[in-house]
Amino acid sequence: MSSAASSIKQSPNVNNAASGGHGWPRRTPQGQPHLDGNKFTASQPLTINRPINLYPLTNYTFGTKEPLFEKDPSVPARFQRMREEFEKIGMRRSVEGVLLVHEHGLPHVLLLQLGTTFFKLPGGELNAGEDEVEGLKRLLTETLGRQDGVKQDWIVEDTIGNWWRPNFEPPQYPYIPPHITKPKEHKRLFLVQLGEKALFAVPKNYKLVAAPLFELYDNSQGYGPIISSLPQSLCRFSFIYM
């Protein structure tokens, strides 16, 4: 593991002939926002400039709980179960949560580490017919939920990625290949807004690490294609360091 991952503990005027003058056009077709300096004067959807609050890692407390084991003892067993379930219920649906904190004004992603080289986002498989957001909340509680009976408040903000598994094999892609009519798994990633403070319980067989975005960027060898693509997926958000 790289040492960079922390273990838990005015615009110029332009000539516009159509407007008959200089500067940005003041009139635009109906329904089209016009630029006024750096501002949009028409209403804009939140996704134009979506703010996300990031709190310091030190705001969070981490305890431990009983180990959380995978359903399958090996990779071949996992794909065999996927084949069997595909025949019965069709494509597998999975969800994962991206939980962000900051250290020294740098965004970090909370990852679960198993062993020395395997990292994963918290989440997992959905039950048949289960709502994606509710399923993610269930899985986050199973994985990191506290054990003292206090209900964890998971705020699922937005979708940040969709990945597809075309065959019963490890490769996944951020699109469905054109020759694939029945993908075997759809994995959706969600951004989860953490509260100002929280207590998490980490399964004993995992280690929770905070990996900075610069460590993940273009590092599929260390973190795999999905996690290493998170800096590109997250760059559309405006981070507010609290």
Does 158 fall in a domain?
yes
- What is the SS3 assignment for 200-218? EEEECCCEEEEEEHHHHCC
Report the pLDDT value the prediction gives residue 120, as an integer from 0 to 100.
Answer: 96
Report the pLDDT value the prediction gives residue 5, as an integer from 0 to 100.
Answer: 64
Percent of the chain topping pLDDT 70: 80
Does 13 fall in a domain?
no
Question: How high does pLDDT run on average in the chain?
Answer: 85
Report the pLDDT value the prediction gives residue 200, as an integer from 0 to 100.
Answer: 94
Tell me the three state secondary structure of residue 35: strand
Find residue 100's DSSP bridge partners.
109
Lowest mean pLDDT among 5-14, 32-41, 59-68: 32-41
Q: Tell whether the model's pLDDT for residue 222 goes beyond 50.
A: yes
Does 196 fall in a domain?
yes
CATH number at residue 185: 3.90.79.10
Report the pLDDT value the prediction gives residue 71, as an integer from 0 to 100.
Answer: 86
Does 12 fall in a domain?
no
For the segment 208-237, the average pLDDT, to the nearest whole number, is: 95
Does 11 fall in a domain?
no
Does 178 fall in a domain?
yes
Q: Tell whether the model's pLDDT for residue 66 goes beyond 90.
A: yes
Report the pLDDT value the prediction gives residue 12, as an integer from 0 to 100.
Answer: 41
Give the residue with greater pLDDT, 226 vs 12. 226
CB-based contacts of 148: which residues, under 8 Å, 6+ apart? none
- Structure tokens, 27: 């009139």
Give the total number of structural domains in the chain: 1
Lowest mean pLDDT among 38-42, 109-113, 115-119: 38-42
Summarised one tens digit per residue, pLDDT across range 16-52 is 434 444 444 444 444 444 444 444 444 555 556 788 9
Report the pLDDT value the prediction gives residue 32, as an integer from 0 to 100.
Answer: 43
Give the residue with greater pLDDT, 40 vs 239. 239
Full-model pTM? 0.80
Give the residue with greater pLDDT, 157 vs 27. 157
Q: How confident is the model at residue 164 (pLDDT cuts 50, 70, 90)?
A: very high
Give the residue with greater pLDDT, 118 vs 4. 118
Does 29 fall in a domain?
no
Does 38 fall in a domain?
no
Contact 241, 105 (CB under 8 A): yes
Q: Quote the strand ranges of 115-175, DSSP E.
A: 118-120, 123-125, 155-165
Max CA distance (Å), the chain? 72
CB-based contacts of 131: which residues, under 8 Å, 6+ apart? none
For the segment 202-226, the average pLDDT, to the nearest whole number, is: 95
Q: Which domain holds residue 154?
A: 53-241
Q: How confident is the model at residue 69 (pLDDT cuts 50, 70, 90)?
A: confident
Report the pLDDT value the prediction gives residue 151, as an integer from 0 to 100.
Answer: 84
